Amino acid sequence: MSSKIITIGKLTDKGLSPKRPYNEDSLLVLPDGGLYLVADGVGGRRGGEVASSTVVDVFNKVFNQQHHEDLRNVVEGAIDLANQKIFSEAELNPELEGMATTLALVAVAGKRAIVAHVGDSRVYRHDRQGLICLTEDHSEVNEALRAGIITEEQAANHPRKNVINRAIGAEPDVEPDIVEIDIDDRTSFILCTDGITRHITDEEIERLMKSGLRPDRICEKMKELCYAGGAEDNLTVIVADFGERKYIVEDHEKPAAVIPAKAASGHTGGIQLPRPTRKFEVSIASTAQPEKPADAPTPAPENSADNRLTQVTQLTGADSKSDFASAPEKVELSSFMKWSLLILTTIAGLMIGTLLGRPVIEKFGSLFGARDIFNRAGVEKPPADPEVNAAYARYLEGQTIESRERLVKVLSDNPNNAEANFYLGRIDYAQGRYDEAISHLSHALKLDPNLHDIRIHLAMAYLSVGQQRNARDVLQQVVAPGSTPAPLPSPTSTTAPAAPVASPASGAAKAAKPVG
Write down which residue in 249, 268, 296 finishes a domain: 249
Residue 445 lies in a domain: yes
Residue 467 lies in a domain: yes
Whether residue 5 contacts residue 244, with contact meaning beta carbons closer than 8 Å, is answered with yes
Torsion of CA 328, 333, 338, 340, to 10 degrees: 140
pLDDT digits (tens, 9 = 90+) for 140-191: 898 888 888 888 888 888 888 888 999 999 999 999 999 999 999 999 999 9
* pLDDT confidence bin for 227, thresholds 50/70/90: very high
* pLDDT confidence bin for 268, thresholds 50/70/90: very low
Residue 178 lies in a domain: yes
Q: Around Cβ 227, how many Cβ atoms within 10 Å?
A: 15
Write down which residue in 219, 249, 279 finishes a domain: 249
Residue 301 lies in a domain: no
Distances (CA, A) of 177 to 2, 400, 428: 24, 28, 18
Q: Whole-angstrom distance between the N-terminal and C-terminal Cα of the chain?
A: 40
Number of domains into which the chain is organized:
2
Residue 142, domain extent: 6-249
Whether residue 8 contacts residue 245, with contact meaning beta carbons closer than 8 Å, is answered with no
What are the E-state strand segments in 307-460? none
Cβ-based neighbours of 228, under 8 Å, separated by 6 or more = 199, 284
Residue 182 lies in a domain: yes
| Domain harbouring 406, CATH code | 1.25.40.10
Q: What's the mean per-residue pLDDT of the chain? A: 75
pLDDT digits (tens, 9 = 90+) for 51-83: 999 999 999 999 988 776 789 999 999 999 999
Residue 70 lies in a domain: yes
| Domain harbouring 217, CATH code | 3.60.40.10
Q: Using CA of residue 129, residue 183, residue 190, residue 71, what is the dihedral sign? A: positive
The region that residue 225 occupies, defined by phi over 0 for left and psi between -120 and 50 for alpha, beta otherwise, is alpha
Residue 352 lies in a domain: no
Residue 332 lies in a domain: no
